[in-house]
Amino acid sequence: MSKITNEVPVIWGTSINGFGSYQYKYKSGREGDWFLTGFSPRKNAMSTYLMCDLEHKDLNFDGLGKYKKSQGCLYLKKNDDIDLNVLGKIIQDSITIIKKIYS
């Protein structure tokens, strides 16, 4: 992730390694700061944090391998189960989308 973002990791909360940051503002007026991408080792899987809408048309998960996803998060059990090049592309695409939305 450091290679993709050209950022060093910063701990967000108690256990998330975040890379880069951006400011968001919702239509409701709520605003804040968040990281562009990040990860957190969890008991059952490595959580990889991306943009909130993983159903976005510009994100392609074909060829990634074994994963589960929820809103804004990919769960990866083992590095051997995924294609790291595909994951890198997904992370880069997610960052590009975030920058388009919030710049």
pLDDT(103) > 90:
no
The pLDDT, as a whole number, for residue 21 is 95
pLDDT(79) > 90:
no
Band (53; pLDDT cuts 50, 70, 90): confident
The pLDDT, as a whole number, for residue 68 is 95
In this structure, how many other beta carbons lie within 10 angstroms of the beta carbon of residue 18?
A: 22
- Amino acid 79 reads N
17-51 pLDDT tens trace: 999 999 998 889 999 999 999 999 999 999 999 98
Q: What is the pTM of this model?
A: 0.90
Separation of alpha carbons 84 and 63, rounded Å? 10
- Is residue 18 within 8 A of residue 73, CB to CB? The reply is no
H helix or E strand, kind and range, residue 41: strand 37-41
